[in-house]
Amino acid sequence: MKHVIIIGGGVAGLGAAYKVRRSADAGHDVSFTLIEREERLGGCLVTELVDDPETGERYIVDGGSDAFITSKPGVHRVAKMLGIFDDEVRTCDENKKTLILKGDKLIELPDGIMMFAPTKLVPLATTNLYSWPAKFRMALDLVIPRKEKWAEGETAQQHDETLESFVVRRMGRESLDRLAEPLVGGVHASDPAQMSLAATFPNLLEMEQQFGSLIRGFLHQRKLVEEQRRKHPPKPGAKRFTFFSSFHDGMQFFTDRLADAAGRDRIRVGVAASHVMRQPDGSWLVTLSDGTELSGDAVIIATPAWATRRLLGDLDARLAELLDSIPFSSSATVPMAFRAEDCPFDTRFFGILVPLVEHRPVMAVTMSSSKWPDRAPAERVLLRGFVGGPHNQEIMDKSDDELIEIVRTQLVEMLGLRADAKPLFARVFRWTLGMPQYTIGHLDRVDEIERTVGAQRGLGLAGGSYRGVGVPNCLESGEKAVSKVLGDFGITLAEDSVEEKRIW
């Protein structure tokens, strides 16, 4: 029997636990114990069910991740195995509108913008989002030659560049400040001047190589998608996907079901791992915060890189240095609900992006009750402010009450919420050192981390610190860590069946 200790009960750790469980069910002699510091499982996936103080009706409030991207198959595949595929919920695309704050105005994202590149002339010409010189500068993308031609076989990783350098070079400063920064940098809560494109959006670097222009690249991509839709129209009754999805009962529903299927009897909550060391016989010893010890053949550490580094202590000096080199930023989400009569504005939009150049204390606002069905009762509006990020770490020193008032005031100023409107309820979810920053050269560092870990029999690392922060990436990182550590013992796991993988 090979026993795997998994540290961290976020989606990566739970994905690992469920994979060990499936392997045991398939006949392998393996088991696991999962250790989670908090009383609650799920990590960055946290959903609170809140009752309306007046009507008692229910809100579904996501405090961390509120969605997963549907083009990556991991969550669908596992949801299918868990029997919860039909619990996935689509966004309300009839309200699909993104607003961008400029001065005291909210401007709708112009039609035809793909990421931050314009692909339609008339909406670009008529939008007030950019000045005329900026529009002209963006169009120059069509003629500005690529920075350099990659040699045969080279990839984005060898030509890493920051988001800021890339966007300013191709489309000008205003394109970065007005859209690319809040859209791309904001989503990752990252500084565009540090953020690695190779680690986050390598397709942008590849597009420049292939087409010599982002506009031409995105136009080509749009044509391909339209062709595919024509060739393969959706089958009647087949499930349709929106760009992002969630679950009817919120994102934590997914990690809760993962924990159920993996086996809660193998999961210990409310106790932290405090040290991990290799024993002379090659097995692993994990010391817990209650003073007890656990011994296993393998250990998978699915905590943020800074926490992993503390756990591993002096196991390997170079590994410690590499883990230390991944910076993190802190942020908080501040969901709050209002009566519809306190919101005398058009609520039919998904969210607001607030560029850094606006010098506001919020980075973004999500209109949760318009983006998703059934997140709030009728006649109620559920919004969520997002604060913090690398340019505003000081805001994290504010108390919960102060953060709630800051976000409320911003809603008054930006949206026209009634100045005296009091939230029916408000919550603050703090994500202290919760967002890994993929800075320039990140992929080279992760390659080296993987080589170093590869040399340690029975050690696996997983989670959002390495190869993608998105929920599907984290889930699959946990599964890959299981394949790695069991592979170290010559146990080869079967792939999930084609039927499980086939979603469409």
**Residues found near ligand FAD in the complex (CB under 6 A):** 7-13, 35-38, 43-45, 64-68, 272-273, 302-304, 307, 311, 331, 333, 431, 434-435, 463-464, 469-471, 474
What count of other Cβ atoms lies within 10 Å of the Cβ of residue 173? 13
Q: What's the CA dihedral at 114, 191, 41, 296 to 10 degrees?
A: 110
Nearest approach, Cβ of 434 to ligand FAD (angstroms)? 4
> Where would I find the H helices in 189-284?
197-200, 202-211, 214-231, 252-262
**DSSP summary character for residue 469:** -
Instruction: For ligand FAD, give the closer residue by CB, 36 or 174.
Output: 36
Q: What are phi and psi of 112, to 5 degrees?
A: 85, -5
Distance CA 245, CA 372 (A): 9
Q: Measuring CA to CA, which residue among 475, 491, 461 is closest to residue 31?
A: 491
Pairing of strands 30-36, 267-269: parallel
Minimum CB distance to ligand FAD, residue 386 (Å): 7
The smaller minimum CB distance to ligand FAD, of residues 130 and 254, is found at 254
Select 356 or 471, whichever has its Cβ closest to ligand FAD.
Answer: 471
Give the span between the Cα atoms of 433 and 79, in whole angstroms.
29
In the complex, least distance from residue 388 CB atom to ligand FAD, rounded to whole angstroms: 9
Handedness of CA 8, 13, 14, 20 (dihedral sign): negative
Please give the helix or strand (H or E) that residue 308 lies within, else none.
Answer: helix 305-312
Q: Is 225 helix (H, G, I), strand (E, B) or coil?
A: helix
Nearer to ligand FAD (CB atom), residue 43 or residue 186:
43
Return the number of the residue (9 or 118) whose C-beta is nearest ligand FAD: 9
Contact between residue 179 and residue 100 where contact means Cβ atoms under 8 Å apart = yes
User: How far apart are CB 169 and ligand FAD at their closest, in Å?
Assistant: 28
Contact between residue 423 and residue 405 where contact means Cβ atoms under 8 Å apart: no
Distance CA 189, CA 182 (A): 9
Closer residue to ligand FAD in complex, CB, 355/385: 385
Residue 383's DSSP bridge partners are 336
**Considering beta carbons, is residue 109 or 469 the nearer one to ligand FAD?**
469
- Give the shortest CB-195-to-ligand FAD separation in angstroms: 15
CA-closest candidate to residue 425, choices 63, 53, 56: 53
Describe the chain by its helix, strand, coil percentages, rounded to 5. Answer: 40, 25, 35
Nearer to ligand FAD, 176 or 259 (CB): 259
Nearest to 206 by CA among 147, 247, 143, 257: 147
Alpha carbons within 13 angstroms on the beta-carbon side of residue 484 total 24
Q: Which is nearer to ligand FAD, 362 or 421 (CB)?
A: 362
- In the complex, the smallest distance separating the C-beta of residue 132 from ligand FAD, rounded to whole angstroms, is 35
Least distance in Å: CB of 254 to ligand FAD? 10
Nearest approach, Cβ of residue 7 and ligand FAD (Å): 5
Measured between alpha carbons, how far is 114 from 387 in angstroms, rounded to an integer?
25
Cβ proximity to ligand FAD: between 176 and 435 the closer is 435
Instruction: Give whichever of 59 and 431 is closer to ligand FAD, judged by the CB atom.
Output: 431
Smallest distance from ligand FAD to CB 44, Å: 3
What token pair was written down for 258? 């993962």
Smallest distance from ligand FAD to CB 150, Å: 29
Contact call for residues 479 and 16 (beta carbons, < 8 A): yes
Least distance to ligand FAD from the beta carbon of 451, Å? 21
